[in-house]
Structure 1
Amino acid sequence: MNRFHEFSIKHEFVTRSLIIIVSSVIGSIGLNMFLIPANVFSAGVNGVAQLVSGFLSMNFNLSIDTGILIFLLNIPIFLIGWIKLGAKATIYSFFSVLAFSLFALIIPVQEIIQDPLLNSIIGGILIGIGSAYCLKYGFTTGGFDLLSVIISKVTGKSVGSMMFMMNLLVIAGAGFLYDWKQAIYTIISIYALSIVVDKIYTSGHKLTVFIVTGKEQEVLDVFKKNIIRGVTVLPGKGGYSGVDRSLLMVVVNRYELYDIEKLLHSVDENAFVNVIATEVVLGEFWTQEQQKAAFALAKGQTE
C-alpha cells in the first residue's frame, strides 16, 4: 500500500506538472496570437490585465507586459483560494499562473489571421482548453477561474456560468476603453471559453458512479474516510464467473470523480467502474462547503 501511495503521489505530481505546462502554452498562444493582436479581450484576470495594460499605454504612455500584470493581479486572489480551497489546490494554481505568465512573456504577440471574429472564437477556445484541463485535475489557472470554482462549490452552479457572469466586468471595460464593437467580440470569446470549460470540466454536473468490486468493505472504509457521499450497496454476481460481488452506487459532482478514481485504485485495482451523467438529483445532496463542515465535525468528535 505504501509503495502504491508513493507511486500515486509521484504520478499525480508529474501529471499535474505536464498539465500546467501544456495548458499554459495553449492559453498563451490563444492570448498572444489571437486575442491581443485583434484587440479582443480574454476572460478573467487575463482580460483585466489586457485592459490595465491598454489603459496605461494610452493614457500614460507606460508599457507593462500583460504577463507581469497577470501575475500581480492574481496575488490577492491566491490568498482567498488558500483559505477556501486549501493549500494543495492553491499551490498548483500558483504555479499554473506563474507558468502562464512566463509563456505569455516568451511567446511573441503575432497576428496569424486578420478576421476579428475568428480570432475571438479561436482565442477563446484555446484559453478555455487550458483552463478546463487545469480544473479537471483539481486546480485552476488562477484569477476568475479560482473565484468561479469557489462560488461554484458553494452554490452548486456550473463553473462556466459563474465565469461568464463575472466576466461581464471585462466586457464593460472593453466597451468603455475601446469601443462596443470590441466588447461584442469579447463576449464571443468569453462565451466560447465558457462552453469549452463546461464541456470538458462540467464541475456543476452530477454523475452516477457504479462500482463492481469484490472488496466491498475496503472500498466503503476508504470512501467514508475521504468523501461524504451516500453509497448504496447492491448484491451482484458475475454473469460468466458466477462469483458473488457487490455493486456500489454513488452520486457525485464532476470534481469529485478524480478523487474517487484514486481512492478506488488504492484498494481495488480490478474494480469495474461505470460512470453515467445524471440529469436531476432529488433529496439531500451536499455542496463542498457542507462536506467540509461535516468533516470538521467528525474530526472534532473523534479527538
Structure 2
Amino acid sequence: MNQLYRFALLFVFSVVLGFAFNMFLLPHEVLTGGVTGLAMVFGLLSPINSGIWLVVLNIPILVIGWMKLGKEFIWNSIFSVFITSISMQYIPVVKVTDDVLLSAVFGGVIAGISIGFIIRLYGSTGGFDVIGLVLTQKRDIPLGGLIFGLNSVVVFISGFIFSWDLALYTMASIYITGIIIDRVHTRHIKLSLMVVSDRGDEIKGELIKNLIRGITVMDGQGAYSNTERKVLYTVISRYELAIVKSLITSVDPKAFVSISETVEVVGNFRR
C-alpha cells in the first residue's frame, strides 16, 4: 500500500478514536483499561505522577514491539497515538447521550472499528495492543479477545480503587471493542484453499511468486470428463484471500476453487 495512503487512513481512524473517547466514554468517566489504567492505579498508590508511570510502562512495551514487530510498526503506532492525542485536545468533551450504558456500547463499537483498522494498517494504539500482537505471532488467538482479557485485569483492579459501577460499564465497553476488533482484524482466521484447474502449474507459479505459503500439488481426474487436472491445496490467512482469488482468476477464470475456514493449523505455518 502507498505509504501516504496508509498514513492518511491512520490519521482518519485515529481522529475517529479520539471522537469515541471524547463524545462517548470520557463524559461519563468510564474507566480506562490497559497501560493507561494501570498508570492511573500506580499513580494513586505511589507518590509518582500517573503521566510518568504511563511513559515508564510504555517504554519496555515499545522496545518489545520494535524487536518483534519492526520499526515501521512502531512509527505507525507513534503516529496514531500522536494524532489521537491531538484530536482529543480539539474535539469537545460532550455527552451525546445521558445514558451511560448507551455511551459505553456505542463508544466501544466506534473504538473497536477504529482500533481494528489501525491494526490492519500495521499500527496500534500502544500499550496492550502491542503485547497482544506479539502474542498472536506465536498462537492463533483472536486479538480482540486477548486485548479484552489483558484490559479486564486492569479494570478489575481499578474497581477496588474507583467505582464498581464504572468498572462494570468499562468492562462492557472493552468487551464490545474486542468483538469489533476481531470482526475487522481477521488475521487469526485461517482458510483451507483447494484449486482444481487445467492450468495448475501456472497457478502454482503465480501463488509461489506472490505468497509465502507452501502448496501441495496432486494429480486429479474429472469423474465425467476423465480429463487430467492438477489439484492444489494450501492454507492461507484471511488477509491473503483477496489477492489469491485475483491471482487464480487471472490465470484460469474457469478454475474450481473451494475455500473453507480452518479451525487450527499445526506444523510449519508462517504467521
Question: Same fold judged by TM-score > 0.5?
Answer: yes
2:59 and 2:258 map into 1 onto residues whose CA distance is 37
Cα 1:275–1:153 change in 2 (3 A) is: farther
Moved more, 199-208 or 107-116: 199-208
The Cα shift of 1:130 comes to 0.7
Q: Measure, in 2, the Cα distance between the counterparts of 1:219 and 1:248.
A: 12
**1:70 and 1:101 in contact (8 A); partners too:** no
Pairwise CA RMSD:
3.7
Q: CA deviation at 1:28?
A: 0.7
Matches within 5 A, 1:169-248: 169-209=153-193, 215-216=202-203, 218-223=205-210, 227=212, 229-233=213-217, 248=232
CA offsets 1:209-233 (integer angstroms, 9 cap, x no match)? 466896335424425xx62x32134
Instruction: Give, in whole Å, the separation in 2 of the partners of 1:236 and 1:25.
Output: 53
**Residues 29 and 277 from structure 1, CA distance in 2 versus in 1: closer, same or farther, beyond 3 angstroms?**
farther
- Structure 1 263/203 Cα, relative in aligned 2: closer, same or farther at 3 Å? closer
Conserved? CA contact 1:33–1:112, under 8 Å: yes
SS at match of 2:125: coil
Aligned with 1:270: secondary structure? helix
Structure 2: distance between partners of 1:100 and 1:39: 18
Corresponding residue number in structure 1 for 2:100: 116
Determine which of 110, 118, 133 is the counterpart of 1:134.
118
SS in 2 for 1:146: helix
User: 1:45 Cα shift?
Assistant: 3.6
Q: Does 1:143 align with 2:127?
A: yes
Alignment CA distance shift 1:217-1:277 (3 Å) = closer
**Structure 1 residue 90 corresponds to structure 2 residue 74:** yes
2:263 is aligned to: 280
Q: 1:146 to 1:283 in 2, by over 3 A?
A: closer
If the length of structure 2 is used for normalisation, what is the TM-score?
0.77
Counterpart code for 2:122: G
Partner of 1:20: 10
* Residues 1:270 and 2:250 are matched in the alignment: yes
Q: How many residues align?
A: 258
Q: Which residue is 1:38 aligned to? A: 28
Kept in 2: contact 1:158–1:198 (CA 8 A): yes
Distance apart, 1:170 and its partner CA: 2.6
Which residue does 1:102 correspond to in 2? 86
In 2, Cα distance between the equivalents of 1:72 and 1:18? Answer: 29
CA contact (8 A) 1:41 1:189 kept: no
Contact 2:192 2:262 in 1 (8 A): no
Q: Give the match's secondary structure for 1:155.
A: coil
Contact 1:209 1:275 in 2 (8 A): yes
What is the CA–CA distance in structure 2 between the aligned matches of 1:195 and 1:124, rounded to whole Å?
Answer: 9
Letter of the structure 1 residue corresponding to residue 263 of structure 2: V
Specify the SS of the correspondent of 1:139. coil
Post-superposition shift, 1:47? 4.3
Rounded Cα–Cα distance in structure 1 between residues aligned with 2:56 and 2:22: 18
Question: 1:268-289 deviations in whole A, cap 9, x for unaligned?
Answer: 893569784514246425353x
Distance 1:102 1:33 in 2: 15
Residues of 2 paired with 1:12 and 1:269: CA distance?
24
Residue 193 of structure 1 deviates from its aligned partner by: 0.3
Contact preservation (8 Å) 1:31, 1:42: no
Q: Which residue of 2 aligns with 1:78?
A: 62
Q: In the alignment, which residue of structure 2 is the partner of 1:240?
A: none
After superposition, give the CA deviation of every residue in 1:119-153 in whole Å (9 maximum; x if it has no partner).
11111111111111122233322221111111111
Greater shift in the superposed pair: 205-214 or 39-48: 205-214
